[in-house]
């Protein structure tokens, strides 16, 4: 072996990633971690046992923590590293990642600090500071190069991980309220929210995602808390991190997680099923839920159904996750990253996985397709059809109320909310009308 990088949970050494002579990566748990009460695995594919774990599993899992596409290129260029050098990039930015782990150095609570955006950008007005931050993300993704900031978020969109501080300067687990402060985490401190800036190429993106996530909650599906934030002439989606907790002693705590691509040892490039090398199928996605408690497996089915009903064509394998808490078995993470493709004709309208073995638009899903999904995943077709009907009824019943609530948020354009809410209802009703076909 030519090099090794330690992996930590807080100050606990989980193990070592070792780099072979040919550049392959494997992972070995530390003996201390294996003997620790409540120890959790790096991944469900990396069980708690002695000895090295295969590069075929470890390498794609690590890659799943990094940004993708242009964001990864910009980060790698800023660091002076090859975008293919996954471990070197993680060693530089992997202090606050998805889940609970840090790379290269332990998380030292004594070194944690938070810098308000108003201070970072020398702006007295919080809205102006947030607008400056959104602009900054276009120049340096994840604030790479900022002193003491080491964060990594997966995906190809521009994103930022921030912390919400109460008026006394303490981090809190809630969406921002009047008097709260948005701040950048330094020294390995955990963030508590994720921001996604608006996108001129996708008008109404903020309204779309906030509406869909709130509609899911109204329909009884566990989903991340989401709101819209106004930032001068811009806006952003703000979601509360589901992989962070406040303990009984008021300490901020990370919870381990992995997305379904990582759980299935798939690199980010295979998060969609389509392609010359196919990624996770709908049957494979639902089969992943068999590692969860029965109630969570059914909740996963609800997530899949909801994504089809609202026409979230980007519901790929990295948009489903599970949580791996200390001393407990895996649980399904709340629904996240949901938006309807219907307002944007220029965007791919086909679902991320084949539906009943064929490339389909969500609105074309008929009863026989639901039956095929049921058969492939071991569910009773009648039960799945019944669940589809129930969720359609809940979407229709809650659509207007949810749209009104989103319209009342700061910086929201009413027309965008009206458009997406009506298109989602139409799509759900179209699918409902085909439940007898």
Q: Which of the residues are catalytic?
A: 314
CB 164 within 8 A of CB 175: yes
Helix (H) or strand (E) segment spanning residue 394: helix 381-407
CB 322 within 8 A of CB 333: yes
Instruction: Give 394's Cβ-side CA count (13 Å radius).
Output: 20
Token reading at 307:
């994504």
DSSP 201: T
DSSP 317: G
175 phi-psi bin (left φ>0, alpha ψ -120 to 50, beta other): beta
> How many other β-carbons are positioned within 10 Å of the β-carbon of residue 76?
20
Token reading at 355:
């539906």
Of 309, 303, 272, give the one whose Cα is nearest residue 289.
303
CB 133 within 8 A of CB 160: yes
SS3 (DSSP) at 299:
helix
């Amino acid at each position: 072996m030519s090099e090794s990088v330690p992996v930590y949970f807080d100050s606990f050494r989980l193990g070592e990633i070792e780099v072979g002579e040919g550049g392959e990566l494997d992972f070995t748990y530390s003996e201390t971690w294996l003997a620790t009460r409540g120890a959790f695995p790096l991944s469900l594919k990396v069980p708690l046992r002695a000895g090295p774990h295969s590069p075929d599993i470890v390498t794609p899992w690590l890659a799943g923590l990094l940004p993708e596409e242009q964001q990864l290129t910009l980060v790698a260029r800023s660091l002076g590293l090859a975008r293919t050098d996954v471990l070197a990039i993680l060693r530089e930015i992997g202090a606050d990642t998805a889940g609970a782990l840090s790379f290269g150095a332990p998380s030292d609570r004594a070194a944690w600090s938070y810098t308000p955006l108003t201070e970072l950008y020398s702006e007295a007005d919080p809205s102006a500071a947030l607008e400056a931050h959104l602009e900054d993300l276009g120049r340096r993704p994840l604030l790479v190069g900022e002193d003491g900031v080491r964060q990594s978020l997966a995906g190809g969109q521009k994103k930022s991980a921030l912390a919400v501080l109460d008026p006394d300067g303490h981090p809190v687990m809630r969406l921002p309220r009047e008097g709260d402060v948005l701040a950048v985490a330094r020294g390995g401190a955990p963030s508590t929210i994720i921001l996604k800036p608006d996108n001129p190429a996708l008008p109404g993106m903020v309204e779309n995602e906030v509406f869909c996530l709130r509609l899911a909650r109204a329909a009884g599906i566990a989903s991340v808390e989401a709101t819209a934030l106004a930032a001068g002439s811009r806006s952003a989606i703000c979601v509360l991190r589901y992989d962070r907790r406040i303990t009984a002693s008021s300490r901020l705590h990370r919870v381990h997680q992995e997305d379904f691509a990582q759980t299935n040892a798939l690199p980010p490039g295979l998060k969609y099923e389509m392609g010359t090398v196919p990624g996770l199928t709908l049957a494979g996605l639902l089969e992943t839920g068999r590692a969860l408690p029965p109630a969570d497996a059914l909740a996963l089915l609800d997530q899949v159904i909801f994504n089809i009903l609202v026409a979230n064509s980007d519901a790929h394998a990295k948009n489903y996750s599970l949580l791996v808490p200390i001393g407990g078995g895996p649980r399904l993470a709340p629904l996240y990253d949901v938006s309807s493709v219907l307002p944007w004709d220029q965007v791919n309208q086909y679902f991320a996985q084949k539906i009943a073995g064929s490339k389909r638009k969500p609105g074309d899903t008929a009863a026989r397709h639901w039956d095929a999904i049921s058969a492939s995943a071991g569910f009773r077709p009648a039960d799945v059809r019944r669940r589809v009907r129930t969720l359609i009824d809940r979407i229709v019943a809650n659509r207007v109320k949810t749209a009104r609530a989103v319209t009342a948020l700061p910086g929201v354009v009413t027309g965008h909310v009206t458009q997406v809410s009506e298109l989602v209802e139409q799509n759900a009703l179209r699918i409902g009308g085909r439940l007898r076909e």
